[in-house]
Every structure is written in C-alpha cells, then in structure tokens.
Structure 1
Amino acid sequence: MLPNNHKISIAIVDDHPIVLQGFRSLLENNPLYEIAGCFTTGNEFMNFLQENSVDIVLLDITLPDGNGVHFCKEVSERYPKTIVVALSNLSERSIISQMFRNGAKGYLLKNTSAKELLDALNTVLDGKTAMSLEVKEIMQQPDLNTLQPVPELTKREKQILQLLADGRKSAAIAEELFISPLTVKTHRSTLLAKFQVNNIVSLINRAKETGLI
C-alpha cells in the first residue's frame, strides 16, 4: 500500500474515447486518485513513462499499435513500480493467463461496476491479485485447451500465422506473400476456426500455447 498522503496516479490506455471518458470521470471524482493521463495507443503511454511515474495503468489489450499483452510485459520489465491492471472485453482464459504471466496484477472486464473497479484498485495496491467476478469464474473452470488437439496447418497457414504474430496487417501480408488480400482474409478465417477462437489476439496466444509459433 502506498503512503496515506500519496494521491494515487492512474493512467488509462484504451482507443475508445467513450471508455476513456467513462473511467476518467469515475476516478476523477474520487479524492484518492489523480489521472496521470489518458492514451489511445500503447506507444504513446510508453513514451509518457520515460519521463513520468504512474502508480497504476488500466491497460486495454486490443490497441491500434500493438497487443496489450506485449505492452504489459514491457511495462512490468522496464517500470516494475507501475501496477498493470488489464481492462478489456476479451474474456478468453488464455489471454487472461498470458496477462498475468506478463506481470499484470489485475484483470477486469469493461462491464465492471464502479464498486468492483475501486475494490480492485485497493486490492492491487495491497499487493494482491484482483479479478472481476466474471474473470474469476472463467479462471476457475477446467482448462479445456489441454484437451484440444493441436490444429494441423498448411505451409501457407503457418506463414500467415507467423506474420500475424509479428504484427503484420493483411495488406502487408498479401504483398509479402504475393497473394490477394481476399486470400489472406480467407486464411485468417480458417485459422480462427481451426483454433476455435474469434479474434487475432486469442489466435496468437492459442498458437503460442500449442508451440506453433
């Protein structure tokens, strides 16, 4: 716990203005906290940290300039005094687990209540792990991924999977592999189906868990 006379600085990283404004308004009205800044990209926040200290960052996972899972690891390694709390719509067990492995101290879904958010902030400041109720329920369920077979991928699917993991966009992948953007889109859809996930972040995390990248 920080000293009683210390006003807790919080940064919010999310590319949705409504989300930023909503959580900013909630925290600004609490005398215990001050908003260090609101950021729409991970790199913008990392640049801010070079010259400013932040006690807690509420970090989204799907960002326009990268994966919040990676930014979480970077913050934890370079700025260990900054507590990372994930704030996301993504509820896949693999992503939650990866965030905690990368140093996050909390994981909340964006539908969290004001009370749940404030309770979570108190929890992480006490050095404990915080999860919203839905996240706790997800993590208490059996890990079905261990029962799922590793998908069989074609050579082209493996190429596209690796390029997606490297952060490449569909247009860049199409140009590099000399195929059409529509073909890349079709392969992306096939990969999502084979890994039984519904977004690229989950796809990459699932592929890492199975050792395919």
Structure 2
Amino acid sequence: MSETKRTVAVVDDHPIVLDGLINLLNSEKAFKVSGRFTTGRQLLDFLQDNQPEIILLDIALPDINGMDLFDKIRALSPGIVVLVFSNHNEPSAVLRMLEGGVQGYILKSTPPQEIIHCIKEALEGRLALSGEVQSILEAQKRQVLTTQTIRLSAREKEIVALIAAGNTTAQIAKTLFLSKFTIENHRKNILQKLQVKNVAELIAEAVKRELI
C-alpha cells in the first residue's frame, strides 16, 4: 500500500527559485506539489476550490504583501499550514509573520534537507524555523534583554553625569557629600552594569542608552 503524499502549494515570483523548490519537493516521496504560483492572486484563486495541506509562501510578491496575503489565506482556508520561504532576514519581518500566526519561517539560503525537515516539522504542528532564523531571533532576544535589564539607580545616574562632565572621584565625592570609597564602589558597579572597561566606554554607552 502506497504512502499518502502531503500536498504542498508553492508561491514565489522568481521562476528559478520556484523551479528549484519544486524539484526538491518532487524528489521527496512524502510530498506532492499541488500548485505553483508567482502571485498572491493566483494562489487565492486556487484556494477557492483546492486545499493543499501546506503553503510555502514568499512574502515579497509583486501584487500583495506577505501579512495581507496570509490573512486572506486564513480567511479562506483556516486549516492550511503556512510556512514562510523568504530572503528577508530582518528580525522585524520574521517577528511580524510569526506573531501573525504563520507556522514557521525559512530563509532561501537554507540547505535543501533542512528545508525538508522544516516542512515536516510544520506539518506535525511544530513551529518550524531554519537554523539561521533561530540565530536571528536569539540575537534579537539577547539585545532586548540587555536593554531591559540594565537599570541604574538615581544616584548612579547622577554619578555618570558627573563623570561625563569630567569630574574626578574626589570632586564627585565632594559634590555629593560622600566618601571617595563610596564613589569608587559606585563607579565599579556602573562599569559592571554597562559592561564597559573604562570611562570613555562608559560615557559612550551612557549616551547610547540615553542615560545622560
């Protein structure tokens, strides 16, 4: 008894990419390409009478943007798995599509067998991200966490401003009516929080984070 093939529709406005992806899918016994399209309108017309199990969707089509097309696909066929297949590697583009509800995101630079793996993951109901996309999202997460977790106290901000104005430890201590030992401790804590090594880096980082 032959294995039931999973039906796939492919949308991309570059014929060479479309041909390459279809050849890859046709080389796999698990898949059957049920439609190939170069515009969003062609896909939507196809979905009026056809229901592939998964759509590989380029989000930079000539007639409609990716998020709008995804919303229209959802309205017509809420059960279809949609997997983005794109050159766009900006974190904002990836996050927008994932937050919108797509089941995965693959970059066109992804190796063939990894593409196949991602398609199978998506069909099994798991979020399917190519390795490069995972790296992009992890870097974005680290950046957000770094920005959010750095918190200077009011006193520390005051000391940073005085350092930026060119004051020495002794001058800052006198201005704030604190001991030089206390100011030195604050300086060490500030350097550690901002992950910098010297006053020049401290001032640059403080300016970048709008602390002064």
Under a length normalisation based on structure 2, what TM-score does the superposition of the two structures give? 0.64
User: How far apart, in 1, do the equivalents of 2:76 and 2:145 lie?
Assistant: 32
Point out where structure 2 has 5 or more consecutive residues left out of the alignment: 148-212
User: How far apart, in 2, do the equivalents of 1:23 and 1:125 lie?
Assistant: 17
User: How far apart, in 2, do the equivalents of 1:11 and 1:147 lie?
Assistant: 40
- SS of the residue corresponding to residue 66 of structure 1 reads coil
Q: CA deviation at 1:40?
A: 0.3
One-letter amino acid of the structure 1 residue matched with residue 110 of structure 2: T
The 1:19–1:147 alpha-carbon spacing in structure 2 relative to 1, beyond 3 Å, is same
Identity across the alignment (%): 37
Aligned length: 145
User: How far apart, in 1, do the equivalents of 2:117 and 2:26 lie?
Assistant: 16
Q: Is the 8 A contact 1:76 1:103 kept in 2?
A: no
User: How far apart, in 2, do the equivalents of 1:132 and 1:88 lie?
Assistant: 11
The match for 2:99 among 71, 93, 101 is 101
User: How far apart, in 1, do the equivalents of 2:87 and 2:28 lie?
Assistant: 24
Computing the radius of gyration from Cα coordinates, the structure with the larger value is 2
Equivalent position of 1:7 in the other structure: 5
Equivalent position of 2:140 in the other structure: 142
Q: CA deviation at 1:14?
A: 0.4
User: How far apart, in 1, do the equivalents of 2:43 and 2:55 lie?
Assistant: 9
The 1:21–1:66 alpha-carbon spacing in structure 2 relative to 1, beyond 3 Å, is same
The match for 1:19 among 17, 20, 27 is 17
State whether structure 2 residue 29 is matched by structure 1 residue 38.
no
The match for 1:120 among 94, 118, 121 is 118
Bigger shift: 60-69 or 136-145? 136-145
State whether structure 2 residue 57 is matched by structure 1 residue 59.
yes
Q: CA deviation at 1:146?
A: 10
Bigger shift: 138-147 or 28-37? 138-147
Q: CA deviation at 1:100?
A: 1.3
Point out where structure 1 has 5 or more consecutive residues left out of the alignment: 149-213
The match for 1:133 among 131, 134, 152 is 131
Under a length normalisation based on structure 1, what TM-score does the superposition of the two structures give? 0.64
User: How far apart, in 2, do the equivalents of 1:77 and 1:25 lie?
Assistant: 30
Q: Is the 8 A contact 2:9 2:35 kept in 1?
A: yes
Higher relative contact order (CA 8 A, sep 6+): 1
Equivalent position of 1:70 in the other structure: 68
Q: Is the 8 A contact 1:76 1:102 kept in 2?
A: no
More helix by share: 2
